[in-house]
Amino acid sequence: MLEGMLVGLQTALSLKMILVVIGGCLIGTFIGMLPGLGPMSIIAIMIPVAISMGDPSAALILLAGVYYGAIFGGSTSSILLNAPGVAGTVATSFDGYPMTQQGKAGKALTIAAIASFCGGTIGAILLMIFAPMLSSVALLFHSAEYFALMVVGLSAIAAFAGTGQVAKAVMMTTLGLIMATVGEGALFNLPRFTMGIMDLQSGFGFITLAMAMFALPEALFLVLKPREMKDSGSGDIKDMRITRAEARAIAPVIGRQSLQGFFIGVLPGAGATIASFLGYAVERNIATKEEQEQFGKGSIKGLAAPETANNAACTGSFVPLLTLGIPGSGTTAILLGALIALNVTPGPRLMIDEPQIFWAVIISMYIGNLVLLVLNLPLIPYIAKVLMVPRNYLIPFILFFTLMGAYIGQNNATELLILVAFGICATALKFADYPLAPLLIGFILGGMLEDNFSRSMQLYDGIAFVWERPMTLGLLIIAAILIVLPSYRTRRAKLRQVGIADGD
Indicate whether 181 belongs to the interface with another protein (CB under 8 A).
yes
Q: How far is the CB of 166 from another protein (least distance, A)?
A: 7
367 neighbors 99 (Cβ within 8 angstroms): no
The residues facing 184 across adjacent strands are 191
316 neighbors 265 (Cβ within 8 angstroms): yes
Name the E strands within 149-208: 183-184, 191-192
Query: What residues from 367 to 406 belong to the interface with another protein (CB under 8 A)?
Result: 390-393, 395-397, 399-400, 403-404
Q: How far is the CB of 82 from another protein (least distance, A)?
A: 14
Q: What is the DSSP letter of 375?
A: I
Indicate whether 15 belongs to the interface with another protein (CB under 8 A).
no
Using CB under 8 A as the criterion, what x/- string covers residues 63-102 for binding another protein? ----------------------------------------
Longest dimension (CA), the chain: 70
The span from the CA of 429 to the CA of 489, in Å, is 19
Q: How far is the CB of 183 from another protein (least distance, A)?
A: 12
Query: What residues from 422 to 441 belong to the interface with another protein (CB under 8 A)?
Result: 423-424, 428-429, 431-434
Backbone φ, ψ for residue 184 (5° rounding): -90, 130
Residue (293 or 433) nearer to another protein, CB: 433
163 neighbors 461 (Cβ within 8 angstroms): no
Indicate whether 192 belongs to the interface with another protein (CB under 8 A).
yes
Query: What residues from 448 to 467 belong to the interface with another protein (CB under 8 A)?
Result: 450, 453-454, 457-458, 460-462
Q: What is the DSSP letter of 385?
A: G
Indicate whether 130 belongs to the interface with another protein (CB under 8 A).
no
| Closest by Cα among 56, 58, 52 to 24 | 58
Contacts of 260 (CB under 8 A, 6+ apart): 275, 278, 279, 282, 309, 312
86 neighbors 311 (Cβ within 8 angstroms): no
The span from the CA of 352 to the CA of 198, in Å, is 39
| 200, 407, 466, 471: residue in contact with another protein (rule CB under 8 A) | 407
Q: CB under 8 A: which stretch of 68-76, 90-98, 323-331, 487-495 binds another protein? A: 487-495
Query: What residues from 194 to 223 belong to the interface with another protein (CB under 8 A)?
Result: 220-221, 223
| Closest by Cα among 460, 454, 463, 459 to 188 | 454
Q: CB under 8 A: which stretch of 13-21, 157-165, 231-239, 363-371 binds another protein? A: 157-165
Indicate whether 485 belongs to the interface with another protein (CB under 8 A).
no
Query: What residues from 244 to 303 belong to the interface with another protein (CB under 8 A)?
Result: none
Indicate whether 481 belongs to the interface with another protein (CB under 8 A).
no
Backbone φ, ψ for residue 110 (5° rounding): -65, -45
Q: How far is the CB of 397 from another protein (least distance, A)?
A: 7
| 2, 140, 198, 224: residue in contact with another protein (rule CB under 8 A) | 224
The span from the CA of 177 to the CA of 179, in Å, is 5
Residue (283 or 502) nearer to another protein, CB: 502
Q: How far is the CB of 227 from another protein (least distance, A)?
A: 8
Residue (13 or 400) nearer to another protein, CB: 400
Question: What amino acid occupies position 164?
Answer: G
The span from the CA of 493 to the CA of 87, in Å, is 13
The span from the CA of 83 to the CA of 191, in Å, is 47
| 129, 167, 247, 379: residue in contact with another protein (rule CB under 8 A) | 167
Residue (223 or 251) nearer to another protein, CB: 223
Count the site residues for another protein by CB under 8 A. 71
Q: How far is the CB of 288 from another protein (least distance, A)?
A: 31
| Helix, strand or coil, per DSSP, at residue 141 | coil
Residue (170 or 371) nearer to another protein, CB: 170
